[in-house]
Amino acid sequence: MLATDSYLAQLLKKLGASDFTINTADFLFGHVLKIALIVIMAFVATRIAARIMRRSITGLVNRSPLPTGARAELRAATLAGVLVSLTRVVVWTLATLLIIQELGFDLGPFIAGASVIGVALGFGAQSLVKDFLSGFFILVEDQYGIGDAVNVGETSGTVEEVNLRVTRLRAFDGTVWYVPNGEIKRVGNTTKEWARSVVDVVVGLSTDVGAAVASITEEMASLADDGTLSDGVIDTPTVLGVDAIGPDSLTIRVAVRVEPERRVAVERAIRARIADRLRRDGHTNAPEQLVVP
């Protein structure tokens, strides 16, 4: 059937063009140009949306009360990348449907088939969707990040990677654990902002508690002057006093706020200094003087 309704077809007919030439020209300048316009508009829309989302996410992160810096920039980049990817999928899906319609295909059966497939995939991918949603909120709320030491129930270790679907942890013995985000019910983060070093000092039951506490307190007062620990200690150590009484021993607890990554080093230093001080002050009746709480 000749495309005689368009201005281009009428012009070519007056110029003496053949029916084949008229139909070909009408197809090229009609459908092909519309398809090219759809592609260009989809490309421009994704570029503009990506720029707007990146700026919006960066602005929200900068105004957030959560800590800023390299970690915040990484979180913003991850969230922006996720939203940009979703936007691209939506825009290009719509563009593809418009192109199929422009080529003259009936979208009814296609949409019906896609709906059935979508429902089937939805039932089969419920856990995957749950993982993605959980991962999104983990990133938005900054529950943990790369380098944090966390406990996620039966698994604990240092976070090496976190994305929308899974969190990768490395345990102390080197084992790498892959934990789906949807299975994480609660998270204990021991490296968020600050940590507390706690050391229990076990002394003999007949020890002069007042003298032992005084010795420990004096020794801990100089802990911040230690050049190797000054950067890691936030507050002056506190001697909490007798924390427990056993059949033949007393437990004196010492605590101090520290930088999270320095917690273990500070605890070891406290144990060594207290052990030396108690030995110098003659508290020889202390059994095993230091134990890990």
Residue 288's pLDDT is: 45
The mean predicted confidence, pLDDT, of the chain is 78
Residue where a domain stops, chosen among 174, 189, 204: 189
Q: How far apart are CA 278 and CA 67, in angstroms?
A: 41
For the stretch 22-50, pLDDT in tens is 666 666 666 777 888 888 999 999 989 88
- The domain that contains 201 carries what CATH number? 3.30.70.100
Q: Are 91 and 49 in contact (CB under 8 A)?
A: yes
Tokens 């990040």 belong to which residue?
Answer: 145
Instruction: Give this prediction's pTM.
Output: 0.56
Count of the separate structural domains present in the chain? 3
Are 226 and 257 contained in the same domain? yes
Return the amino acid letter for 228. Answer: T
- The domain that contains 93 carries what CATH number? 1.10.287.1260
Q: Which domain holds residue 94?
A: 7-124
Highest averaged pLDDT of the listed ranges 76-80, 99-103, 221-225, 262-266: 262-266
Q: Which residue has the higher pLDDT, 199 or 147?
A: 199
- Spatial CA neighbour of 183 closest among 133, 230, 142: 133
Are 109 and 142 contained in the same domain? no
